[in-house]
A and B are shown apart, each in its own frame.
Chain A
């Protein structure tokens, strides 16, 4: 290959005229992917036999050149050799970029800092494949939970929704293989529709600074990537089989990649997962099983100056929701809270019955890219379809019929240009247009989310400037326009109670007996921006500073909720009058990366005006008894916190890790704490690792979750006619602190040069402790999971 390139270069170079030939060509050679300088790259000037090698800063000098066009061949041990044509006019500066991919496959498993940073002035955290495999029988949310500053809002143990610095749902943007996930993320009981076994790498950006993706990520952005193919003729894959004791679950996942030197590749991945009812130390959590079927295909061409990539994934998940959490009224809620045991416990089963969710998510994405000058132009189209069925316990002919049947379709087109304007100025810019349509079928239960169409348009530019080897600055701005066109039935009683008949008289298009059909049409214009700087101390230390302005359009559930959310047995009310949230987040990170002692300390302050939250406000009387009313409202919120990470290497084999985070959230209007803020938590881990002993790894982990002492009192009183008493329904007191221990181990066996078998064994909740988690929505009804033994076998080939 290399000689081939050279031959072409030789043929295309022409003898130069005799002229003034004492100019120099200086320059720098960097990695195309992450911009890191390439030391030891060789440059050969075609036709002259002269060669120079880059120094440790990636720089080179070629002297005695004429004003002419030269062909230069650049090679590096880890890159494909590449030819460039350079016009020399006087002393010339030129930077070259090489594609650093020959060793890419290996690097991913070593550490994987080869992709572009999403934001250069916000610290990023990553979870790479090896770590992800320990979570193969869990969820994406569980894996993210292992990063400091990330917690999760759970509904049982199968619906795990990531929460970043106290923010979740629509405030956390998930980018799945380049496409922004549109999977009805607004609901607190909707987990991301992503198969963790299709993920090769997870990147977390805690803030809205990654403007190329969105301007509304108040909490942060999670970037999910599947594995990249190597550019050589190869066929490789892996199969992983896992089993766990709690829930008697099993999983099989397989991944196969075929790649060619020409740049073409194809990847197939699939997984099957099944588990039955989970258990606490004392009882079975009835109806908490799960069935998952996932599949993904990726086909593409990856060349230096152009390429394409097609990705399709199907995620199908059926999740049982704890039977004891399905309630009829406030009186039932009171009984559930009073009782130490769940109101319904049955024998273990794999069968799922109502209440349950049945979700399928399909994503298709096509991207084509071409290198233009010093930049890369890419055009992307993605289509997503999310089908969500929620089953409640129903009566009569509706038994077995879904209560909620939503179909959300999104089409999006993106045009991005990522370039280096000069050696030290980078620019990312792009435009985005999307169309989204929600269709809610008639299930005999009032629609929780109405039919709507949403049009989005966005434009952004982010630029970074490397002042010198210490300072890097980044600045960016984004503008988004959203138009919503909604068809929504309101109950006449609610429409009038809220004064909507006075404030929104023009949206009514039809009046029925006790309902009105309305067509609200809203426009939102949002601006977001980021400014940041990074100071590199040169030795180990790095300081990141970032300010981000984020704006978020209210989501359909915040605007249009009106009525009983059956599975939650609560009445939820949104508000048509909501405007966009606007957040200002300031973060500073001090990072030390060293062989022995590394740490990062990251304080932040986030002020969000018109912050939308939902909390209990009272009760509503009906013939079924009373229901708690949860109402969305806007306030000014204030978040303060600090995330901390440290790792210390004692010896060749022993290391210690700590990860802690603290966040406090306040409601500035009411001057009280915000509901559902993650309690302070700290994780300590001791790891033994020996590369000479078949990569044996043993880890013991302690997780301490403090009690949340800052919470708003949203308790209310109800009258119980059967006992003729007035009782307090305690829905706000957080559960006690708890301390969990986990054990994890793995070992590798090499079969041949190309195949490897890895065995993993772990125990979570080692001491089988009974506990309840403040951020688990089912904490009123039952304890969390007891001890769980996990076993996995992975075969790489």
Chain B
């Protein structure tokens, strides 16, 4: 009886293109650029694909917001080692700040959103600074609590519109602006973050995740690096929140909803942690799914949680890593 085992070998195409010193054929260019072009073109075309289904166009916008949050979570958790259980904190802060700039300070939308992104990120970072010098558990605990706390504080003190929220927020010029602002920002952040984590400074952040003692022994202030990482991740999340405030033309407590904390985590786990693209793919799957499940009410959260727990416990590698493996390597059965 013959024993067979699976052998995985990098494709010739992958090995040739690895060094990137000389790409000699169109085939190699296509191999490298193909997936990226597919992603960009596909994503840009989405609004047109759904021309006939207006309800789904709104869903697509939200899907990209979740994609941003998932990107932020993937970056913090898998590249810096900080697990953020409160994505809703970022969206809530971003959304409220933008509404404040727009309604109370009369900034136009195109000024309010960038301001909210930057100042919101600064505010979130400040709130998180106390737990950054400490063990990772504290970061998880604090980020988990902030959305819950802020919701209750806004409700109890009846500030910032209380349970009614801030109404009268300006919208966007037209539908296409609505779509393409978020799509372009998502693509921008995706490729930007990929670049960032491979720059020297990104490597330092990844070092913090792997072995922060060693980074300290190299003369680098790890807490300062973490602050930088949290600020970058907050920029991404706060933009999402600010965008949503103008999309709905309203900023309310629902911006701190648990969905914004849980769905990004589930997206990253399903899509493949550490790949950045996996975060997007996970959201592309989970958000439409959650729309379909809307009929079930809050039961859909139960489903996400069960899926999430399943993945965490059984440590599935996620879709993206699976797809990458198929793309870069081929398998064959070999006699032992």
A interacts with B: no
Identify the B interface with A (CB < 8 A): none
Identify the A interface with B (CB < 8 A): none
